[in-house]
Structure 1
Amino acid sequence: MKTTLAQQPELQSFQPEQTIYSSSVFIERETMYVVGGHQGRLDRSQMFSLDLSKSWSTSQDPPFKKLSGGLATLAAPGALTKDKKSWFIISNATAYSYNFAASSWKSLGEKYYITERRGLAAATDPDTGAIYVPNGYGGFLDGSNEMLVYNASSSDFLKEGLHPALMGRHFYAAAWAPTLKAMLMFGGGDYNTNNTNNDLYSYSPELGWSLLTTKGDIPSSRDSTCFVPAHEGRTMVLFGGMSDQGASLLDDVYLYDVESMTWKRGKNVGVVGGARYGHVCAVSDNYLIVWGGGSDGPISNLLMVYDIEKAEWTNHYSYKPAPVNPTDLFQPSSALSLPRSNLKAAVGVLGIVVMLVIGGF
C-alpha cells in the first residue's frame, strides 16, 4: 500500500502555535526568527524561523522551521548584533545572546540594574554596534528607568538618560534609522495611566533625544504595535496595535518617510481576525510579514503579508535577490574571489572595452 504524507509525521511541515507578545528579529531576504510569547496562562519557549530566501504562500505550508532551546519570554526586547550573527535579548533581568550558526543561547549575565519590566524594545546602531533599550536600566516599581546600552564589543552594560516624557513608557516600538544615525521610538503606553500615545521621538548618540514634528496621515495612539525598517531604513512600516486600555484593536498600516518626516496610510486588513496586537513583523524587499499576536476574532491565518509597493494584502511572498551595487564589482574582495584564469579574462575584456570607448571618442 502506498504511504501518504499524513502517515509520515517526520515529513510533515512544522506549524507554530499561536502566541501573543513573542520576540522577533529578521535578516532581510534571509530569515525571520521568533521566540517565546504567551498562550493561555503560560509563557511559552517556542522558537522557530521563517525562510525569507525563497518564495512561498501563506496558505501552502510556509517554510517554518522549528528550533530547539527556546526561552520562555514575554514581550522581551531584542535586536540583531552589528554583524548579524547573533540575537541580543533581555528576559527576566538577564541578557542573552543567540548565535545563529551554533543555534545556541548564551547568558550574558543577570544584572541588578536590568529591569524586569516587559513590553520594551531594542535597536542596534549599525555604525558602533551599541544596542539601546529605552527604560531598560533601573527600578521596576518606582518608574525611575533610564536607557540601557549594551556594548557588544566589550560586553559592557551602560546607561544613558531618557527623555522625561518617556519615563515608564512600555509596549512602545523602536527601530534604527541609518540615514538619521538615530533610533526612532513610537507610541506605547504610560505605565501608571495605561493611556497610549502616538508621538515619535528620536535618539541620536550625538544629539540626544528630541520629539519629532511629523506630518501627513499621523497614526492614532496605540501600543503593542510593530514598527520595522524598510528600504534600507529610509521607510518605517507601522502595523496594528491596541488603543487605550484595549478599547479597540487596529488593522491599519502606515508608512513613515524618514527624510520628509511624513506619514502615509496604507490599506487596512479588512477581515475578521486581521486586527492584531502583540504580534511580530519583518520586512523583506517590498513585503511586510506579520505573524501571530492577539486579535478581535478567530485567526484563520497566523501569517499575513502586505505588499508595500502595491499597497495591498496578499497571500504570496515573492523572493527577489538584492540588487547588485555596481561599485561592489570593483572591490578587491570580488576580484580576489575569481579564479586566476577568469580574472585574466575579465581584465582582458575590460581593456578591450576601454580601448573601444577611447577609439569611439
Structure 2
Amino acid sequence: MHFSMSAAAIVVAAAFLTASVNGQPPSWIPPSWRPTSTHIQRPRPTADPTPTPGDAPPPRAFANFAFSEHQKLFISNGWFGWASNWKGIYNEFHSLDLSVPWTSDKPAWEKLAYRSTGEGETAGQFGISKDNMTLYFFDGKVHKYNVKTNTWDLNIDSVFTRPPKNISDDPALDLHKGKMYPHGDMRSFKADVATDPETGVMYGFGESIQVWDEVYRWRTSPYASIATFDPATNNYTRPYDNDAHRVKLSDIRSGVVNSLVLSAAAKKLYAFMWEMDDGESALFEYNILSMKWTQLNTTGDIPSPRAGLCFAPAYGGTKLILAGGRSSTAPDDDTNAALNDVYLYDVATSVWTKMASAPSPHHGGVCAVSGDSFIIWGGYSAYSNNNEVIVANEDGPAIFNMSSNTWGTTYTPTPVGARSPSFVSQ
C-alpha cells in the first residue's frame, strides 16, 4: 500500500527521467518531457555531506523508495543537490531492515545488488508486490527485483494497454478537434505507486496527456490520469479516454508533483497535492471502483501548503501520516522553508491531528511505517525557496511512535502475533 513514496504524481515529476548523462537528462530530450518539479531544482553549492561508512547510503534527497511493513524499507537513486557537483545518484540500492531492532546511530542498512541495464542509468519509480517479495521498477520499461535472492530480471515482457484516442468534452482542450494523445508507450509513473494489498494491482499517476496546439504542436496538457500495472498479467494500462480517471492540474497548480497513497481500509487512493493555495484543501480521494476524484473537506489541524513531503498509510489504512516537506508559501529568502511538522489523518472522520514534530526537518526524505513506528530519513534539513540555502539532513533514521506521540532513537519491531496485514509504499 502507500506509494510503491516516493515521497510522495501528476504532471512533471522527477520520477520521469530517461537515460541520463552525468546525472542530467540528455540535450535531445524535449523540454516538455524534462522534470521541472521541486525534485530537481538546482541549488547553489554549499558543503559536501559527510561520507557514510559501510552499508549505509550517503545523504540524498528525493530517492525512490518502497517499504514492506515489518520487513524492509528500500531506497534507490535520489539527488545529491547540495554538493559542489549537482548530480543524480544512479548506482546504489539499499534496504533498511524493519524486522530487527536497531538504533538511529546504528541502523540496519544493507547494500543490495543494483540493476544495470547497459543503456545508461535511469530514474523511475518502485512498486512492490502484495506478498512483499518482488519489487518492480518502472523507468519506461519494467524491471523486477527478487527480494529473497537479491537479483534483477531486467526489461521483462509487459503489455501496454491504451484506450483509443478520445475527443475531450472540455472546451479548454478543444485544440485540433480536442484530440488528446498519451506520451508514447512508456511504462512509467509520475511519482508514488500504491499497491492494493488484496488484488496486487499498482496505481499511480501516468504521464501527462499531450494535446495538439496549432502553435506549439504537441504540448503537455493540464491533465493526468491514474495508470495501473497488474503483476499477474504484466499489463500496464493508461486510461486516457475516461474523464473520471483524470485530475485537472490547472485546478491544482499545473507542473507540480503529488503524493499518492492507498488506504486498504477504505479501498481508495488519497493524493496530497503539492503547493495548493493556503486555506484550500490539498487532499483528494480517488474511488477505485467508481473511478471518481473528490476534493475532501477536511477539518482539524490541517497541514499548511507544502511540497517534498512524506505521506504513508498506517494501521491498515485507517490512518494516513504526513511529515516534513518544504513550505510553498514561505518567502524566497526564508532559510527555514524546510519543515519538521507531522500530522495524522483519520480516514473515517476526515480529521487531521497535529502530532509531535520531528527532531529535524526532512524536505524530500523517505519514510516507512511498521506497526506503531513511523521512520523518516534523508532529504534537506534546511532549504530556501530561492535555492540560496541547501543543507543535507545527515541524521540517522528518526523513529516516531504514533501511539505514544513521541520521537526516539530506538526501533523495536512489532511482535509477530500483533502484526496487522502488511502494506507497502513508495
Q: TM-score range by the shorter chain?
A: 0.7 to 0.9
Structure 2 gaps of 5+ residues are: 1-52, 161-183, 211-217, 240-244, 332-336, 383-390, 420-426
381, 387, 410: which one aligns with 1:295: 381
CA offset at residue 216 of structure 1? 0.8
Residue 252 (1) aligns with residue 332 (2): no
Report SS of the residue matched to 1:127. coil
Q: Distance in 2 between matches of 1:68 and 1:98?
A: 9
Report SS of the residue matched to 1:323. helix
Report SS of the residue matched to 2:286. strand
CA offset at residue 300 of structure 1? 4.5
Give the corresponding residue for 2:93. 47
Residue 94 (1) aligns with residue 94 (2): no
Report SS of the residue matched to 2:198. coil
Give the corresponding residue for 1:267. 356
- Whether contact under 8 Å (1:306, 1:312) holds in the other structure is yes
Q: Distance in 2 between matches of 1:218 and 1:254?
A: 8
Of 63-72 and 163-172, more deviation after overlay is shown by: 163-172
Give the corresponding residue for 1:82. 130
Residue 66 (1) aligns with residue 144 (2): no
Q: What residue identity is the alignment partner of 2:220? A: D
326, 334, 341: which one aligns with 1:242: 326
Give the corresponding residue for 2:317. 233
Q: What residue identity is the alignment partner of 2:185? A: Y
Give the corresponding residue for 2:165. none
CA offset at residue 168 of structure 1? 4.4
185, 200, 215: which one aligns with 1:129: 200
CA offset at residue 243 of structure 1? 2.1
Give the corresponding residue for 1:24. 65
Structure 1 gaps of 5+ residues are: 1-11, 326-361
- Whether contact under 8 Å (1:113, 1:137) holds in the other structure is no
Q: What residue identity is the alignment partner of 2:93? A: M
Q: What residue identity is the alignment partner of 2:297? A: T
Give the corresponding residue for 2:228. 149
> What per-residue deviation string (whole Å, max 9, x for no partner) do you get for residues 120-155 of structure 1?
211112232221112436449513432221122111
Residue 113 (1) aligns with residue 185 (2): yes
Q: 1:24 to 1:298 in 2, by over 3 A?
A: closer
Q: 1:219 to 1:108 in 2, by over 3 A?
A: farther
CA offset at residue 99 of structure 1? 2.0
CA offset at residue 73 of structure 1? 5.0
CA offset at residue 86 of structure 1? 1.4
271, 286, 291: which one aligns with 1:203: 286
Q: What residue identity is the alignment partner of 1:126? A: P
Q: Distance in 2 between matches of 1:246 and 1:135?
A: 30
Q: What residue identity is the alignment partner of 1:114? A: M
Q: Distance in 1 between matches of 2:138 and 2:374?
A: 25
Q: Distance in 2 between matches of 1:89 and 1:138?
A: 22
Give the corresponding residue for 1:219. 303
TM-score by length of 1: 0.76
Report SS of the residue matched to 1:145. strand
- Whether contact under 8 Å (2:61, 2:380) holds in the other structure is yes
Q: 1:153 to 1:236 in 2, by over 3 A?
A: same
Q: Distance in 1 between matches of 2:253 and 2:230?
A: 22
Report SS of the residue matched to 1:268. coil
- Whether contact under 8 Å (1:96, 1:109) holds in the other structure is no
> What per-residue deviation string (whole Å, max 9, x for no partner) do you get for residues 45-101 of structure 1?
211111111111102x21110012147555x4322222322122322x333332212
Give the corresponding residue for 1:307. 401
- Whether contact under 8 Å (1:188, 1:198) holds in the other structure is no
Q: What residue identity is the alignment partner of 2:260? A: A
Q: What residue identity is the alignment partner of 1:99? A: N
Q: Distance in 2 between matches of 1:38 and 1:195?
A: 28
CA offset at residue 298 of structure 1? 5.5
Query: Could you say which structure has the larger radius of gyration?
Result: 1
> What per-residue deviation string (whole Å, max 9, x for no partner) do you get for residues 320-355 of structure 1?
213358xxxxxxxxxxxxxxxxxxxxxxxxxxxxxx
Identity among equivalent positions (%) equals: 24
Q: Distance in 2 between matches of 1:174 and 1:22?
A: 15
Give the corresponding residue for 1:334. none
Q: Distance in 1 between matches of 2:326 and 2:219?
A: 24
CA offset at residue 169 of structure 1? 5.4
Q: 1:221 to 1:23 in 2, by over 3 A?
A: same
CA offset at residue 13 of structure 1? 4.1
Q: What residue identity is the alignment partner of 1:279? A: G
Q: What residue identity is the alignment partner of 1:313? A: W
Q: 1:315 to 1:278 in 2, by over 3 A?
A: same
Q: Distance in 2 between matches of 1:99 and 1:237?
A: 28
Report SS of the residue matched to 1:232. helix
Q: What residue identity is the alignment partner of 2:130? A: K
CA offset at residue 305 of structure 1? 1.2
Q: 1:150 to 1:286 in 2, by over 3 A?
A: same
75, 78, 97: which one aligns with 1:37: 78
> What per-residue deviation string (whole Å, max 9, x for no partner) do you get for residues 213-238 of structure 1?
21111111111111111111111110
